């Protein structure tokens, strides 16, 4: 099986502040992998290091078999990697349509328009709001817009940081179902989630981070049924 992502002994952080200590993690092609763990344990930092937005100190990152450790974000996007940040993931003062255009400013107009249409097909709710300012969207619509924007570059590998945080259960289900359908279309998914049960129920495998290290990994369904993992859930759910 081809690994879209293979991380070996990753050390990383911000400037001189080390947050990640020897992380080993992989994502197979068209696999849906979830990272869970308590607040402040380095989940967002891990995604940022992978996407060239935080400092890579050591260890290796391979994408589709090629080492990309420490690469700049624009080169990672060219390779087919995209990222939905946890916060500030839309431009509030631009319309929904303009936000999507910003996701593909280098694309020819016909390509850009067909990708925007595809995004609207995936999340019809934001299609109806296309001329409204992103600031006027609900939390759920905003996440749908952020995911749609990340898809405009036509990625084969998508990193998502807590896309269901602070949403109503209906929006949470819509977002997770949308992510699952992306995986079914062949896009590999690495998701960070606070809603551990919700995301593990739809994932192939999971990882638990604590204090910048992986403390457990396994099949997602087995993790859900594992009473020891339940102890972790209780610590940071709801």
Ligand X SMILES: Nc1ncnc2c1ncn2[C@@H]1O[C@H](COP(=O)(O)OP(=O)(O)O)[C@@H](O)[C@H]1O
Residues within the interface to ligand X (CB under 6 A): 14, 17, 19, 37, 39-45
235 binds, among Mg ion, ligand X, none (CB under 5 to 8 A by kind): none
14 binds, among Mg ion, ligand X, none (CB under 5 to 8 A by kind): ligand X
Q: From CA 1, how far away is CA 236, in angstroms rounded?
A: 33
3-class DSSP assignment, residue 157: strand
Q: From CA 56, how far away is CA 59, in angstroms rounded?
A: 8
Closest approach of Mg ion to the CB of residue 165, in Å: 9
CA atoms within a 13 Å half-sphere pointing along the CA-CB vector of 52: 14
**Residue (92 or 236) nearer to ligand X, CB:** 236
Closest approach of ligand X to the CB of residue 45, in Å: 3
35 binds, among Mg ion, ligand X, none (CB under 5 to 8 A by kind): none
Closest approach of Mg ion to the CB of residue 41, in Å: 9
Closest approach of ligand X to the CB of residue 150, in Å: 18
3-class DSSP assignment, residue 140: helix
Closest approach of Mg ion to the CB of residue 14, in Å: 13
Joined together, the tokens standing for residue 198 give 């919700």
Closest approach of ligand X to the CB of residue 115, in Å: 29
Q: Does 194 bind Mg ion (CB under 5 A)?
A: no
**Residue (5 or 36) nearer to Mg ion, CB:** 36
Angle at 15 between CA 13 and CA 18, to 5 degrees: 35
Contact predicate 159/147, CB 8 Å: no
The residue number with the shortest CB distance to Mg ion is 44
236 binds, among Mg ion, ligand X, none (CB under 5 to 8 A by kind): none
Residue whose C-alpha is closest to residue 162's, from 83, 85, 53, 47 = 85
**Residue (28 or 86) nearer to ligand X, CB:** 86
Please list every residue from 24 through 53 that binds Mg ion, using CB under 5 A: 43-44
**Residue (40 or 218) nearer to ligand X, CB:** 40
Contact predicate 104/112, CB 8 Å: yes
Instruction: State the burial class of residue 27 (Cβ atoms within 10 Å of its Cβ: 0-12, 13-18, 19+).
Output: buried
Contact predicate 179/150, CB 8 Å: no
Which residues here bind Mg ion, judged by CB under 5 A?
Answer: 43-44
């Amino acid at each position: 099986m081809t690994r879209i992502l293979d991380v070996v002994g990753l050390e990383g952080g911000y400037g001189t502040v080390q947050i990640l200590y020897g992380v080993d993690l992989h994502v197979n092609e068209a696999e849906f992998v979830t990272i869970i763990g308590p607040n402040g344990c380095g989940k967002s930092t891990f995604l940022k290091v992978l996407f060239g937005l935080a400092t890579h100190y050591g260890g290796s990152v391979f994408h589709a078999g090629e080492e990309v450790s420490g690469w700049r974000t624009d080169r990672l996007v060219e390779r087919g990697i995209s990222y939905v940040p946890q916060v500030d993931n839309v431009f509030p003062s631009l319309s929904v349509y303009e936000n999507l255009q910003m996701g593909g400013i280098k694309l020819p107009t016909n390509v850009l328009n067909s990708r925007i249409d595809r995004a609207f097909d995936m999340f019809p709710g934001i299609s109806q709001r296309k001329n409204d300012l992103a600031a006027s969207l609900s939390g759920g619509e905003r996440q749908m817009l952020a995911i749609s924007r990340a898809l405009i570059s036509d990625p084969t590998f998508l990193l998502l940081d807590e896309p269901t945080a602070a949403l109503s259960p209906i929006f949470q289900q819509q977002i997770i179902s949308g992510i699952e359908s992306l995986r079914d279309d062949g896009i590999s998914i690495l998701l960070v989630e606070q809603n551990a049960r919700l995301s593990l129920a739809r994932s192939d495998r999971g990882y638990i981070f604590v204090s910048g290290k992986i403390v457990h990994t396994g099949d997602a369904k087995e993790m859900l049924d594992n009473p020891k993992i339940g102890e972790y859930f209780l610590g940071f759910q709801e």
